[in-house]
Structure formats: structure tokens, C-alpha cells
Amino acid sequence: MINDNFVIGIKKSVPVVLGYIPIGMAFGILANQQGLSIFEIFLMSFMVYAGASQFIATAMIASGVNAASIIFTVFLVNLRHMLMSASLSPYFKKVPSLVQAIISFGLTDETYAVDITHLKEHVPSTSFFVGLHTICYAAWVISTVVGGILGNLIPDPARWGMDYALSAMFIALLCMHIKDKRDILVAVCSAAFSLFITATVGGSWNVIIATVLAATIGVSTELWSKKLSLSSSG
């Protein structure tokens, strides 16, 4: 008998999957054009499973960049996953470490948004995460391979708006997560910090720094609101 939480996880994967399919195909097409074989595209998606990092790594491979530089760049780009996993960790205290390790592999920007929203209203369920992460993972791997097979049939993915699919999905997931004015403040501050850091400093640290600064503002605002509420009630 299929677990209800597993089914819920599959259902909540639908918005993510719909975003993964076009962007995954776009990656496969681009990777094919840059010289990667179908097997290499499959292997990268199967082992790395990180959209932005795969796009960057593929471009660096095509440019002949050495392996150490590619690995370090991908590491920097994915540092944000440490922040995401840290915010999820309080909900996994009773989940075995091995299960946590398996679930963590499926943690992406998109699955994190669904995870954290679900956890705020439901008790943590291993079946839910398995259902959500497995379907999203499979959709990404399959769509990238299909894109690689299509190859040059779609020579200009940007012409069809495929390059915007990932951004559109991020925006949709963000809107689902915003519930009050503080959430809007944090989102706006995060975007502003990221743009400012990118324009002035550059590099791949903008996401990490912007997230920390915006989160600090969010927590400070919440503490200040609680302090005012206690003062007025007192």
C-alpha cells in the first residue's frame, strides 16, 4: 500500500517538475552543442544534480578550464545549500542520519522551497521527502538526457524562452512562500543586496552574502515586533 505522505510528496513535485523539464532540456541541448556526449550529460545530471552548476561547469569544460577550477567554482555556487540544509536541520532531529544523507542529495533551491513550506504546517515525514525528491530528481535527469538527444534540433533555446523557465519557477515558488510583510521585506532586501554585490564585487558570493544579510534583517524585524508586542501588553 502506497503511503499517503509519499503521494502528497509526488503531488507537490508537479510545479517543480514542470519547471525542470524545459530548463533540463535546455541544458541537454547546450551541453550537446558544447561537445558532451549523451552519457556524459546523463552522468553529470545523475551525480551533480544542480542546474546552475551544471550550466557553469559545461561552459568551463568547453572552454578547456582545468578540473580544479571547475570543482572550486561549482563548490562556491553551491555553498547556499549549507544555509538551506541548516534551516531544515531542526525538523530532522528524529530522522536517522543515513536517511538524512539520502534526502539531502535531493535538496535543490526548488525542492527546498517546497520542503520548508510543507514543514511549517506538517510533521516531518520521510515518505513525503522521498516522493518529492525522487520525482524531481528523475524529471531533471530524464529531461537533460532528452535535451542531449535532441541536440541541434533546437539551436537557440533562448528564442523559445527556455532560458527563462528556471527564473519563472523561482518566482512562483517565492510567491507561494510569502505570507506577510516581513517575508516581502526579506525578499526585497535579498534581491537588492544580491544585485548590489554582483555589480560592485562580482564573483559567486552574492547569493550567500545576500541571504545572510536579508535573513538577519528578517530575524531582527521579528524580534523587534515581539519586543513591541510584549511592551504594549505589559
pLDDT digit string (tens) for the chain, length 234 residues: 467 889 999 999 998 998 899 888 888 988 888 889 999 999 999 999 988 788 878 878 887 878 887 888 788 778 778 888 888 888 888 778 888 888 889 999 889 989 988 888 888 888 899 899 999 999 999 999 999 998 767 766 667 666 566 566 667 667 766 777 888 888 888 889 888 988 888 766 777 788 778 878 887 887 787 777 666 655
User: For residue 132, what pLDDT is reported?
Assistant: 93
User: For residue 54, what pLDDT is reported?
Assistant: 87
Helix axes 51-62, 67-77, angle to 10 degrees: 160
Dihedral sign (CA 84, 88, 90, 92): negative
User: For residue 11, what pLDDT is reported?
Assistant: 93
User: For residue 206, what pLDDT is reported?
Assistant: 74
pTM for the full model? Answer: 0.70
User: For residue 134, what pLDDT is reported?
Assistant: 93
